[in-house]
Amino acid sequence: MKSTLERLIPVLYEAVTHVTGIKNTLSLVIQYTKKEFPGYITLVLLPLMKILKQSPEKMGNQIGKYVKKHSQIIQSFRYINGFLNFECTDSYYNELLKELSSSNFLTTTSSDKKTLMIEYSSPNTNKPLHLGHIRNMVLGHSISELFKSVGKKVIKIQILNDRGIHICKSMLAWNKFSGGETPENSGMKGDHLVGKYYVCFEKAYRKEVNDLCAQGFDEKKAKKEAPIMQEVHQLLRLWESGDEKILALWKKMNNWVYQGFKKTYRQLDINFDYTQYESNTYLLGKRVIEEGIKKKVFFYKEDGSVWVDLTKEGLDEKLLLRANGTAVYLTQDLGTTIERFEKYPIDSLIFLVGEEQKYHFRALFIILKKLGYVWADKLFHLSYGMVELPSGKMKSREGIVVDADDLLEQMNQVAKKITKELGKVHDYSSTDLKTLSLGALKYHLLKVDPKKRIMFNPETSVDFKGNTGTYIQYTYSRIRSLERKAMAIASKNIHPYSPSEEEKYLLKILEQYPSLVKSSAENFSPAILANYIYELAKSFNDFYQNVSVKIIQDKNLDQAIFRLKLSILCGEVLKLGLKLLGINMPERM
């Protein structure tokens, strides 16, 4: 269906042409009237004043008269200070509510049937997930949902960084210090167990470095020559040579981690269509090397290493193959990116990866373009800011992190406590509690612009009051409760009713839902939608708590029906909107 704005655009242009005589040469500024001013749709006259040396008030009156005469939905207009505000007829508002409630305007459709792949999460397998990962996952999920809702086919993919020096560190420390500790015999979640030995390694390593420094080594040398570091590199070589014993340990420990991740993913309702393993893809880049050399995009240096010159693009020379013939991160990503386009029918690819890798992806995309891949323009690095603590960055190596599982558990406890204190619902299930705690956490992370850093204070943590997921969920459960109590009225048809300013404002917000979803997807920003949903919830609560007559007691049946339908519609939009953020709604609170 067409929005009110879309309906009025033609007649407004017509009116301006009629009054001013100017055709096609100007673009009018037409918008929904701001809350503080009376009216529904506004035409900004100021730009016209520049062209015509007429009094804007006079011009506004002429345009207003023309529009009123030629549009059936306009009731009146008012000129204020360079702005022409239009008010619609009561019957239009009734019709609008009817259309919004019954039409397909909530199920956004699109002719764009393109397939988009999004890579997110993609953790290392040497430590458990933390709050930074949660931000990534929650963003990835929401952006996937947003694109689905505007008609794209979305493929969600993660690549598990399951090999390399980092996992060797955990393996070595486990071999040395664990005494055979397993998730089974310790009761510890697998990823936490492996993470424990990663921290273990770092501690032992730091001690060795300090000892060496005390013996007079300089720090750089000490870091390189610490015995335990030597051992790790030996372990990595054994892994790459396919040593069976090492591979068995590697598989065992990775499996512990996967069991752990699986549990956390389930807690967060996160899932993927495909999972890649770096151990399967890390060699893929090598064929790109040959291709690049053949096309003279890459070049050899004397020691046999392979490079690409990106200085013209404002970057540096980047290494693609070490002198010893092994691939680096960039090479590997070239390989996996090409493979994705060959293996899956995708039109574009989004990498949801932290802002610290901006440079990496810039280089990656430029190289692919240089290699002549036509889809290189369809690559997008969705970079997001990191989650910081009051003490600064989170540091996994030192164990200074907000652990994902701990946080989820803690939030669940708080939700339980508050629910109990308020004492309204006594039979809350663990699923209900999860809906609340997850809603609060996800909304907290999604309401801020992805590209901005998030400051997370564990002391104050995530709120359940104010601009929160909880607030929106609460608003929804109020509406559901109302709906249950007023079922009889809800089924009746809408009769003409003259809506209040608050009610018109709700309609104004509601009808903008599809365009907000679209803008949210286009800008890769669930925050846009989150803030819209909050505004809707707030306006609903304002309306709900300030109507003079309770809806279900209202003797004026037309008013009651209008209000009830409006409320139900608000509830539906709140629910759909939060669904796109990956947040569920409770029926009661």
Site for RNA in 100-139 (CB under 7 A): 124
546 near RNA, judged by CB under 7 A: yes
Phi, psi dihedral angles at 95 (to 5 degrees): -65, -40
User: With binding defined as CB under 7 A, does residue 467 bind RNA?
Assistant: yes
> Binding of RNA at residue 61 (CB under 7 A)?
no
The rounded distance, in Å, linking the Cα atoms of 344 and 515 is 30
Pick the closer one to RNA by CB: 263 or 538.
Answer: 538
Question: Which one, 324 or 493, has the nearer CB to RNA?
Answer: 324
> Which CB sits closer to RNA, 183 or 236?
236
For residues 60 and 45, the answer to whether their CB atoms sit within 8 Å is yes
The region of 109-117, 131-139, 210-218, 470-478 touching RNA under the rule CB under 7 A is 470-478
Least separation in angstroms between residue 233's CB and RNA is: 10
Distance CA 541, CA 520 (A): 24
Q: Which stretch binds RNA (CB under 7 A): 9-17, 174-182, 205-213, 461-469?
A: 461-469
Q: What angle do CA 565, 555, 90 make, to 5 degrees?
A: 50
Identity of residue 285: G
Four-point Cα dihedral 445, 450, 451, 457, nearest 10: 0
Closest CB to RNA among residues 183, 486: 486
**581 is a site residue for RNA (CB under 7 A):** no
Residues 151, 112 contacting (CB under 8 angstroms): yes
Judged by beta carbon, residue 94 or residue 475, the one nearer RNA is 475
Which range binds RNA by CB under 7 A, 25-33, 91-99, 197-205, 569-577?
25-33
Residue 300's SS3 state is strand
Q: What is the C-alpha separation between 36 and 509, in angstroms, rounded? A: 14
Chosen residue from 1, 481, 492, 556 binding RNA by CB under 7 A: 481
Q: How far is the CB of 180 from RNA (least distance, A)?
A: 29
Backbone angles phi, psi at 123, to 5 degrees: -85, 165
Q: How buried is 311 (Cβ within 10 angstroms: 0-12 exposed, 13-18 middle, 19+ buried)?
A: exposed
Nearest to 502 by CA among 563, 586, 422: 563
| Phi/psi-derived region of residue 134, left when phi > 0, alpha when psi is between -120 and 50, beta in every other case | alpha
Residue 453 is a binding residue for RNA (CB under 7 A): yes
Binding mask 303-322 for RNA (x = CB under 7 A): x-x--------x-x--x--x
* 150, 133 contact by CB (below 8 A): no
Among 26, 238, 328, 376, binds RNA (CB under 7 A): 328
Q: Would you give the distance in Å from CA 355 to the centre of its chain?
A: 14
435 sits near RNA (criterion: CB under 7 A): no
Among left, alpha and beta (phi > 0; psi -120 to 50; other), residue 550 is beta
In this chain, which of 36, 218, 342, 459 binds RNA, going by CB under 7 A?
Answer: 36
DSSP reduced 3-state for 30: strand
Using CB under 7 A as the binding rule, whether residue 565 contacts RNA is answered as no
Return the number of the residue (283 or 359) whose C-beta is nearest RNA: 359
Segment near RNA (CB under 7 A), from 250-258, 265-273, 287-295, 449-457? 449-457
Question: Could you tell me which stretch among 111-119, 157-165, 187-195, 289-297 binds RNA (CB under 7 A)?
Answer: 157-165
**Cβ neighbour number for residue 26 with a 10 Å cutoff:** 15
Residues numbered 161 to 220 that lie near RNA (CB under 7 A) are 161, 164-166
3-class secondary structure, 124: strand
Binding to RNA by residue 422, rule CB under 7 A? yes
Check residue 40 for interaction with RNA (CB under 7 A). no
Least distance in Å: CB of 186 to RNA?
A: 27
Angle at Cα 279 formed by Cα 273 and Cα 284, nearest 5°?
A: 90
Coil/strand/helix, residue 6: helix
**Contact flag: residue 81 with RNA (CB under 7 A):** yes
Contact call for residue 562 and RNA (CB under 7 A): no
300 contacts RNA (rule: CB under 7 A):
no
Give least dist CB 456 to RNA, A: 8
Stretch of 36-44, 108-116, 187-195, 264-272 contacting RNA, by CB under 7 A: 36-44
The Cα 479–Cα 546 span in angstroms is 15
Rounded CA gap, 442 and 269, in Å?
11
Backbone angles phi, psi at 38, to 5 degrees: -75, 140
Residue (153 or 538) nearer to RNA, CB: 538
CB of 181 to RNA, least distance (A): 26
Task: State residue 199 phi and psi, 5-degree precision.
Answer: -65, -40
Rounded Cα gap, residues 26 and 23, in angstroms = 7
493 is written with which tokens? 């048809």
Query: Is 293 a binder of RNA (CB under 7 A)?
Result: no
User: Is the Cβ of residue 183 or residue 441 nearer to RNA in the bound state?
Assistant: 441
According to CB under 7 A, which one of 3, 12, 19, 42 is a site residue for RNA? 42
Q: What's the sign of the alpha-carbon dihedral 403, 404, 407, 412?
A: negative
Q: Which of residues 346-405 bind RNA (CB under 7 A)?
A: 355-360, 385-386, 393
Among 39, 132, 260, 285, binds RNA (CB under 7 A): 39
Applying CB under 7 A, which of residues 3, 4, 85, 336 lies at the interface with RNA?
85
Applying CB under 7 A, the span of 95-103, 172-180, 258-266, 543-551 interacting with RNA comes to: 543-551
Residue choice 106, 228, 528, 585 for contact with RNA (CB under 7 A): 528
User: Would you tell me how many other CB atoms lie within 10 Å of the CB of residue 131?
Assistant: 23
